Amino acid sequence: MNELSLIYNRHSVRKFTNDPIPTEHIKEIIKAATYAPSGKNVQNWHFVVITDKNKIEEIAQIVEKKNAQLAEQLTDENMKKNFTKFVRFSTLFRKAPVLILVYAGPYTPTGLDVLQQINASNEEIHTLLRPNPAIQNIGAAVQNLMLAATQMGYGTCWMTSSNYAAKEIESFVGFEKEGYFLSLLTPLGVPDGELKSPSRKPIEEIMTII
């Protein structure tokens, strides 16, 4: 199964060297992301690439500030301690040479207009919306991005743990496109140190053949 080695060699990378990344490489990685499948080929993604180290640091500080503001309102001391402690996992991108913010745009699931037209129940509409194809498109693109980065010798880390500061990050970055919102971010850089991933659930647990 050597041909699948790219998949098995991708790891979440949380430490990076200071090596810069040529713009051509960044473009190649983003291009690979756009070759992911998307429902009705809507390509409802937008990638905001930040290469300014100061801006990356400022985004980390925005997350820290929001973390502190939220923690302050907690009365449960244990929850407060944990939330505060884990802020470093929400800001681990700060030392990377590049930060990619992934924005998600709208996508209307097939059948939604029909259900609305026939006054379908909220439950039926909820069942249609629950698989969230808009975000499935984003997931496909991000996985492509990460595999391309791996192939080119770079590391990434899918991050949603800073999303509680998404509004503040969005307004700092200033990127606007109708209906688009920040869905995740990933650092991009040359990995520093050994790479490994946690183990996976056994196939028998996660696969059912009928």
Determine the straight-line distance between the first and last CA of the chain, rounded to whole angstroms. Answer: 25
Query: Would you count residue 201 as binding ligand FMN (CB under 6 A)?
Result: no
Q: Give the binding range for ligand FMN (CB under 6 A) out of 9-17, 23-31, 37-45, 123-131.
A: 9-17
In terms of CB distance, is 34 or 197 closer to ligand FMN? 197
Query: Would you count residue 136 as binding ligand FMN (CB under 6 A)?
Result: no
Query: Would you count residue 53 as binding ligand FMN (CB under 6 A)?
Result: no
One-letter identity of residue 137: N
In the complex, minimum distance from the CB of residue 190 to ligand FMN, in angstroms, rounded to a whole number: 17
In terms of CB distance, is 44 or 156 closer to ligand FMN? 156
Nearest alpha carbon to residue 62 among 33, 91, 38, 86: 91
Which residue number has the CB closest to ligand FMN?
A: 161
| Both structure tokens of 181 | 């919102």
Query: Would you count residue 11 as binding ligand FMN (CB under 6 A)?
Result: yes
One-letter identity of residue 125: I
Binding track, positions 149-188, relative to ligand FMN; x by CB under 6 A: --------xxxxx---------------------------
In the complex, minimum distance from the CB of residue 207 to ligand FMN, in angstroms, rounded to a whole number: 18
Q: How far apart are CA 51 and CA 56, in angstroms?
A: 8
Scored b (16 or more CB within 10 A) or e, 58-90 reads ebbebbbebbeeebeeeeeeeeeeebbeebeeb
Q: How far apart are CA 104 and CA 124, in angstroms?
A: 24
In the complex, minimum distance from the CB of residue 10 to ligand FMN, in angstroms, rounded to a whole number: 7
One-letter identity of residue 111: G
Give me the residues that bind ligand FMN (CB under 6 A), please: 11-12, 14, 89, 92, 157-161, 197-198
